[in-house]
Structure 1
């Protein structure tokens, strides 16, 4: 642990920042050269996925090997042994969090099938490993049933190690601890959360561990075309977040006594995950979690990271861990800085080779605004919708990028706030500006299907579970709100209503194949 404190102290040293900045500048020159030489161009499109989950306590059912949550299950920390049992599961910020990843595949019928199979199998393996430790992994966007200690106590518990603040329930990864201490130093020691029904201060960024998300990845083979795909992706965020919304409530005990539950139900955001992430880390002069600007040229993805505010810089020689590949070792500090370039859409340079789509020298879009979904089928459906829509809009030369950036940004936050009822913005294939949700979602699914078809994929089986939401005008977040309203009518208070809803959500998410079965 002393080594941890030393690493964090060195990270916060001004001399480290000076050396770190110098290396980043040098490495950006290397990356400019890679783009200029065409070294990052590839054979074809590729796709991948990251999925974050959290854990609750569980116990084996009679005659069953799989551990199931119980009516008394609360948030549970994930033992380290789970990460030893499967390579596809990695640690996340909170001790209750984990991330399940797929290896990338070609963006074609075989590749998308492989992604669906991989996320299903790895989720099963992770749940089996968790079951050995009497906890159950939950596919959800935000935990709302706190541990016995309570949400504020759990998220606020800290200790001091040689002048370094350690969040008790955060992983003792040097990078996480350094980020926490760096951001807290800028705020005077507290992080403020302000959302409908809750005004609360926390002495650590562990607040961010409330939120879990999925991140589809789309590799673009020709780097010169990357800005077109990237700018189109920005304009899809409003509609896709509206369809995916799944986090209308914080941990129930954060609300205290609610004088007007119906009003709070109306005012709470469909995607509180967005506000939680932004407020937990947006304390630098230039907010780090936000909608990124459009690109004119692909090399601007390098410029934007280089110019971003520095948080918790590390130097490559400090750590023994592999950076990922020999190629990314050429720009280790730049890649470390990109790790805190928390835009809702961002570019990743380098990655795993994909047979038929290229080597480790590549560029891809990491699409970050989507919450984790109730089931694997819903997760894969959103992955197909996201990749298919971005691909389809560009392949069809759709004029979506004529939508002003400001309108796309406004639509994104409207969707986070109001879900399917949010004021969205779109430009139709005919070039007309529209806010009509019928027109918008008709094109969303039409061009997603087109993008999948261009890649040789029959997309119906993947998209139908998500399309069912639009037809029923019901998303996971609106389902959650409706259940809480029913429980309030049955006489429960606001906290009790959230917890009852959440237990039903957890049960259904484990017993059904997709959210469409809940409609």
Structure 2
């Protein structure tokens, strides 16, 4: 949710007017999809990476505003927590060696941020969940002072009517440690736990006619993405899921009381419930199922704008969409006076390295291209429920949890990727026009990650286990692991090559 807001209180009539305006925006979008030209140029991609700041003791550093001021550029923005930053790289096409250049740009931008962070007494950590977070860090005072975050915190707590409850039961995601499962329960009086989730978001601009296929494809591979990209096994000192960021984000943004959950009210962090035939399906669900969190209504009439020959911004529809956190989110936007739509893939954690993140991105872009253009769409032979179960299984178990795949039945994720999906991803990238040497460089990272069965989560688990065997308690082991993680991350060697202490 990046739109600015300038209101703190809302009346009952505000909410009524906002609902009507969202519906009017939806009606206008339906007309535009039928009659208005959308961007048909070369599809553009984008990447956003959320980051953490730590101090010399590897504890969260609340110096985000100071680091942003020191950087001074527009690529970095504030995020929910005062120990967070967000990096947004300009959109770029896929063909040729564009994403090799993106790797260099991402390395350069992070090097600048690291340097400025050091000047402010901090270090940069690119990781799914900062493992040294403690409950005392997740308080309202640690939220960024931006008004939109203050309002989001206030409105979400008001909607829930009681503290935010985390209740995450773990197991051994790696399957290699003979230790008892751990269980985290905690209550919070702010949405600060949401700031513990640091993600990488991938954007793909597509024409509205093909949006449904790309969204369905993204949903169908979400479990595979998590299995090979997990990087968040620890939260508040507990060893939980391979990608604990998934239940953490779902629970920290849940404005439902237990009674509403029992009634089947849909959560605002949502996988969805069916395959779609149009982007309108998703925006219509937003208006049908979710009450407004921030009902800010603009004076402009989108229908009048459209009738006057202008491209409407659909402000209320976009603001509402920004408060519903689908793992694959639809995006409507306008650039240079031309409307376009995008799939925003929100599945992956940040880190461990730039080369790992670019590899994750290109695996996603290549695979969905092949799936969309297949003679028989994957989702015609896979139930939506199976795709969601794959997503949860992969988040919980990483590479250890078997996934369901049409034609293969239940299969381990690394085997599925090596046998079937890597060749499909390579074919898809070739169809996008990506240079062969770029495909080889980054898909080989995914290949070796599967061969070694070492994701960021597996490395973190193995390292902490080794340090604990050598006499460290959990707190010391997490700090020791994070120190090694930061050193390896800067070196930009893929995580499957990282050493584990003896």
TM over 0.5: yes
Number of residue equivalences = 458
Distance (whole Å) between structure 2 residues aligned to residue 242 and residue 297 of structure 1 = 28
In the TM superposition, 1:96-175 aligns within 5 A as 96-146=83-133, 151-156=134-139, 167-175=140-148
Distance (whole Å) between structure 2 residues aligned to residue 126 and residue 328 of structure 1 = 37
- Residue 173 of structure 2: aligned partner: none
1:269 and 2:254 are equivalent in the alignment: no
Query: Which of 455, 462, 472 is 2:432 aligned to?
Result: 455
- Residue 470 of structure 1: aligned partner: 450
Q: CA deviation at 1:298?
A: 3.0
Distance (whole Å) between structure 1 residues aligned to residue 128 and residue 412 of structure 2 = 27
Distance (whole Å) between structure 2 residues aligned to residue 34 and residue 395 of structure 1 = 25
- Residues 20 and 315 of structure 1 are in contact (CA less than 8 Å); yes or no, is this contact kept in structure 2? yes
- Alignment RMSD (CA, Å): 2.3
- Residue 397 of structure 2: aligned partner: 418
Query: Which of 463, 471, 487 is 1:507 aligned to?
Result: 487
Q: CA deviation at 1:200?
A: 0.7
Q: CA deviation at 1:249?
A: 0.4
Q: Which moved more, 1:286-295 or 1:332-341?
A: 286-295
- Residue 420 of structure 2: aligned partner: 443
> 1:39-95 CA distances to partner (integer Å, 9 max, x unpaired)?
22412322110100100124xxxxxxxxxxxxx332111342433412100111000
SS of the residue aligned with 1:425?
strand
Q: CA deviation at 1:174?
A: 2.6
- Residue 371 of structure 2: aligned partner: 393
- Residue 163 of structure 1: aligned partner: none
Q: Point out where structure 2 has 5 or more consecutive residues left out of the alignment.
A: 170-182, 257-264, 300-308
- Residue 87 of structure 1: aligned partner: 74
- Residue 8 of structure 1: aligned partner: 8
- Residue 261 of structure 1: aligned partner: none
In the TM superposition, 1:268-417 aligns within 5 A as 268-284=240-256, 285-292=265-272, 293-315=274-296, 330-352=313-335, 360-397=338-375, 399-401=377-379, 402-417=381-396
- Inter-CA distance 338–14: structure 2 relative to 1 (3 Å threshold): same
Distance (whole Å) between structure 2 residues aligned to residue 436 and residue 139 of structure 1 = 27
Distance (whole Å) between structure 1 residues aligned to residue 166 and residue 40 of structure 2 = 43
TM-score (norm 2): 0.86
Distance (whole Å) between structure 1 residues aligned to residue 310 and residue 477 of structure 2 = 51
- Inter-CA distance 368–470: structure 2 relative to 1 (3 Å threshold): same
- Residue 193 of structure 1: aligned partner: 166
Distance (whole Å) between structure 2 residues aligned to residue 219 and residue 498 of structure 1 = 39
Q: CA deviation at 1:178?
A: 2.1
> 1:195-251 CA distances to partner (integer Å, 9 max, x unpaired)?
132111000111111110001111113x22211111111010111100000111013
- Residues 352 and 360 of structure 1 are in contact (CA less than 8 Å); yes or no, is this contact kept in structure 2? yes
- Residues 30 and 280 of structure 2 are in contact (CA less than 8 Å); yes or no, is this contact kept in structure 1? yes
- Residue 35 of structure 2: aligned partner: 37
SS of the residue aligned with 1:217?
strand
Distance (whole Å) between structure 2 residues aligned to residue 463 and residue 327 of structure 1 = 43
